[in-house]
């Protein structure tokens, strides 16, 4: 089950998610990548992680860059690090609260 975080202002619900309009942002999911959106317990911060097809958790843009150089033809431009859900289905994006 996917968790969606409520918008702070009910009038601006669309601002709580990013629309992945650029097709290049969907490319990693074709190869088995997953995007994880984690809402921290303090309520003010969201972390973005990417899970590789081999289940490795990458916690930062530099980690993703390093992984891409070694193992794939994807580019960093194929990844979105904006701290909001993209609004994808559960097979591509997991939204959860931190423990």
pLDDT digits (tens, 9 = 90+) for 35-91: 999 999 887 899 999 999 999 999 999 999 999 998 888 999 999 999 888 888 888
Instruction: Answer with the residue of higher pLDDT: 45 or 20.
Output: 45
In 3D, which of 52, 48, 20 has the Cα closest to residue 36? 48
Q: What is the spatial distance between Cα 25 and Cα 86, in angstroms, rounded to a whole number?
A: 10
Handedness of CA 66, 69, 74, 75 (dihedral sign): positive
pTM summary value: 0.76
Structure tokens at 10: 């009910």
**Structure confidence at residue 30 (pLDDT):** 93
CB-count exposure of residue 51 (10 Å: 0-12, 13-18, 19+): middle
Domain annotation for the chain: domains and CATH numbers: 35-97 (3.30.890)
How far apart CA 31 and CA 33 sit, in angstroms, is 6
For residue 26, count CB atoms less than 10 angstroms from its CB and return exposed for 0-12, middle for 13-18, buried for 19 or more. middle
């Amino acid at each position: 089950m996917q968790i969606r975080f409520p918008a702070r202002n009910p009038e601006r619900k669309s601002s709580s998610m990013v629309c992945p309009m650029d097709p290049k942002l969907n490319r990693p999911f074709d190869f088995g990548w997953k995007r994880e959106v984690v809402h921290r317990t303090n309520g003010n911060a969201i972390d973005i992680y990417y899970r590789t097809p081999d289940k490795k958790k990458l916690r930062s843009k530099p980690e993703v860059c390093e992984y891409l150089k070694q193992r794939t033809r994807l580019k960093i431009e194929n990844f979105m690090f904006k701290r909001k859900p993209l609004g994808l289905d559960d097979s591509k994006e997991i939204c959860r609260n931190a423990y």
